[in-house]
Every structure is written in structure tokens, then in C-alpha cells.
Amino acid sequence: MRIWIAAVLAAGLASASAIAQSHLSDPEGEVDDAGHDYIGGRPDHPSEAWKVVRGGKLYADWMEALMKKGPEQSHPAYPADGGESGAATWRCAACHGWDYGALAGKGPWTEADVTAILRDDRHRYTEDMLPAEEMAALTLFLNKGAANTAPYIDRAAGKSKGVAAQGQPYYETICAACHGYDGRTLGFWDGKTLTYLGSEAVQDPAKVFHMARFGHPGEPMVALYLLPPATVVDIVAFVQTLPTDDR
Ligand code: HEC
Ligand code: HEC
């Protein structure tokens, strides 16, 4: 699981530092120092877009999204050669991938279908893990968010099919607020290596595409779901041009 380290704010950017501190001073992340509840709360009457985005965060990591500890045992259906173990294997993305695999465009499912699928002997998600109140969001995400990524990401080449020059203005005016102009204001530490946005995008553009559209579970990050996917993938193309090395 990734640990927040905020690339130790080498650049001293005030906005990123405020975010990092509010996160650290409130480990539950439910209500940050600014008094809002973007991470752990929900609107009283959520829009459909909010639910799709919520579902996308649950898909990426329901444990981070719900601020819960996952099972210690690896998921019995997780492939032996999958490379992960323990709680991480219970993330939807661990088995279905950032391109959504066979789920892409397979629906629509009803909420009852999804509930039955996730509680069945294959998936084994209990009410304690994924409560009934999250099923509507997961269903909307599966039906509307988990679209085929092939028009946007060239998997074989590991490249975004977007146009970097078109993504640059979006990056500079949205993502840079937290990630910095060179993508190195926040660093991602997986216990072994430190990576930055640029390196993440080179390693796994589909993951960055997902994160940009649905936000990062458990973190105060924006979700661009309401922008056309073609625009988001232009941003991913620009992120693929950012530096990948330590400064
Ligand atoms: C440990 C592996 C694993 C995890 C974790 C996992 N799945 Fe699955 N899932 C499968 C397999 C295997 C199938 C059946 C083959 C397929 O459709 O890919 C499946 C099928 C499905 C289906 C299609 C069922 C059908 O037949 O129409 C849906 C929907 C689904 N999963 C949703 C999810 C969601 C949402 C999550 C996270 C909350 C999740 N899965 C987590 C392994 C997993
Ligand atoms: C309001 C602040 C904020 C904005 C704006 C923002 N992010 Fe983030 N982003 C974060 C935080 C916080 C994290 C979590 C850092 C961590 O894992 O320690 C994060 C993590 C990520 C990750 C996950 C990296 C990983 O492997 O865990 C990706 C990918 C990402 N952001 C992409 C983007 C893109 C692309 C944009 C612009 C569309 C963007 N972000 C805009 C705050 C932001």
C-alpha cells in the first residue's frame, strides 16, 4: 500500500504542503482542516456523476475509499502469479485491471445483479467490507465509468493515444496545483521505490487515466469524469512527457 510522503515538499509549494499536513493531522481523513468532508463524506443528495466517481474510487481501492483495513489473507480467486498478496488482492483493479478487462462495456447490470455477484462464492465481499449503501455507486461505475480503454490507451505500446500538446494546458491549470509543473511535488512510495506522476504514466497509463477520471481514493484529489475522456487522455499523454527521475 502506498504511503503519503509528499516528496518531502522539496519545492515548498504552499498548496501541496497544506494538503499533506491536513491529511497527516487527520489520519482518518474524514474531515480535513479546511472543514470539508470531500474524502470521507458524501453529499446529502448526490448527483449521478458523484456516484460514478465514488464507484471508480471503490474500484481502485475500496479499503482506501472507505478507510478500512482489508483482509490479511489474499483473495482466494487472486491468480498465484499476480504479484500481489494480502489486502491488495481484494481490490477490484487487482483482478480486473485498470482497463477493466472483461467488464468493459459488458453491462448494464442492475444494483441487485452487482450485489449478488459481489456477495457470491467467487467474490466473497461481506457487508462489513462493502456495505449495501455502496452498491449503487459500484453499479453506476461499472455501467458508465468502466468503458473500453482501447480507443484511449495503446496497451501494447504502453502509450496514451492522446495529444500531449492538447493536454498540457489542462495539466498546468488543474493537476499542477498539487503535483507541480514537473509532476514531482508529490512522490509515491511503495515501500521500495519512489515514483512521480511522470514515472507512473510511463509505467501504467491506464492507471493514470483511471485516477484522473475518478480521483484517488482516500486523498483530496479532483476527478475529471465530467470532461470528455478524449481530453483526459490528452492530459495523460502530457503526463507521459514529464520527468521520471529524482531531481
Ligand atoms: C480476486 C479476483 C477478483 C477480484 C478482487 C474481483 N473480481 Fe470480479 N471477477 C473475477 C473473476 C475471475 C470473474 C469472472 C471472469 C470475468 O468476468 O472476468 C469476475 C467477474 C466479475 C463481474 C462479471 C460477472 C458476470 O459474469 O457478468 C463483475 C461485474 C465483477 N467481477 C465486478 C467486480 C467488482 C466491482 C470488484 C471489486 C469490488 C471485483 N469484481 C473484484 C475476479 C475478481
Ligand atoms: C487537489 C490536489 C490534486 C489535484 C488537483 C490532482 N491530484 Fe493527483 N493526487 C493527489 C494526491 C493527494 C495524491 C495521492 C498521493 C499519494 O499517494 O501519496 C494523488 C495521486 C495521483 C495519482 C496516483 C499515483 C499513484 O500511483 O498512487 C495519479 C495517477 C494522479 N494523482 C494523477 C493526477 C492527474 C493526472 C491530475 C490532473 C488531472 C491530478 N492528479 C490532480 C492530489 C491531486
Question: How many angstroms separate the CA atoms of 14 and 9, rounded?
Answer: 9
Quick check: 206 and 161 in contact, CB under 8 A?
A: no
Q: What is the pTM of this model?
A: 0.90
Q: Are residue 164 and residue 239 in the same domain, yes or no?
A: yes
| Domain endpoint, select from 123, 145, 167 | 145
Q: Are residue 178 and residue 103 in the same domain, yes or no?
A: no
238's grid cell: 502530457
Give the residue, out of 73, 75, 91, 96, with the most ligand 1 atoms within 8 A of its beta carbon, to mutate for a pocket test. 96
Q: Are residue 234 and residue 159 in the same domain, yes or no?
A: yes
Q: Which atom of ligand 1 is nearest to the CA of 113?
A: 29
Q: Are residue 159 and residue 241 in the same domain, yes or no?
A: yes
Question: How many angstroms separate the CA atoms of 179 and 227, rounded?
Answer: 19
Q: Are residue 87 and residue 166 in the same domain, yes or no?
A: no
Rounded to the nearest whole angstrom, what is the distance from the C-alpha of residue 18 to the centroid of ligand 1? 38
Q: Are residue 136 and residue 166 in the same domain, yes or no?
A: no
Q: Are residue 247 and residue 153 in the same domain, yes or no?
A: yes
The DSSP call for residue 191 is S
pLDDT tens string 74-100: 999 999 999 999 999 999 999 999 999
Q: Are residue 37 and residue 6 in the same domain, yes or no?
A: yes
Which protein residue's CA is at the shortest distance from atom 9 of ligand 2?
221
- Answer left, alpha or beta for residue 180, where phi above 0 means left and psi between -120 and 50 means alpha: left
Of 92, 234, 219, 102, which Cα lies nearest the Cα of 171?
Answer: 234
Which protein residue's CA is at the shortest distance from atom 43 of ligand 2?
221
pLDDT tens string 39-77: 888 999 999 999 999 999 999 999 999 999 999 999 999
Question: How many angstroms separate the CA atoms of 67 and 26, rounded?
Answer: 12
pLDDT in tens, the chain (247 residues): 344 444 333 333 334 434 444 344 444 545 555 545 888 889 999 999 999 999 999 999 999 999 999 999 999 999 999 999 999 999 999 999 999 999 998 999 999 999 999 999 999 999 999 999 999 999 999 999 999 999 999 999 999 999 999 999 999 999 999 999 999 999 998 888 899 999 999 999 999 999 999 999 999 999 999 999 999 999 999 999 999 988 7
CB of 212 closer than 6 angstroms to any ligand 2 atom: yes
C-alpha count within 13 angstroms, C-beta hemisphere, residue 234 = 15
The DSSP call for residue 172 is I
Q: Which atom of ligand 2 is nearest to the CA of 200?
A: 26
Domain that holds residue 92: 48-145
3-state DSSP percent of the chain in helix, strand and coil, to 5: 45, 5, 50
Of 153, 156, 154, which Cα lies nearest the Cα of 212?
Answer: 153
Q: Which atom of ligand 2 is nearest to the CA of 5?
A: 18
Q: Which residues line ligand 1 (CB under 6 A)?
A: 62, 75, 77-78, 89-90, 92, 94-96, 101-103, 109, 114, 117-118, 122-123, 125, 138, 142
Domain count, the chain: 2
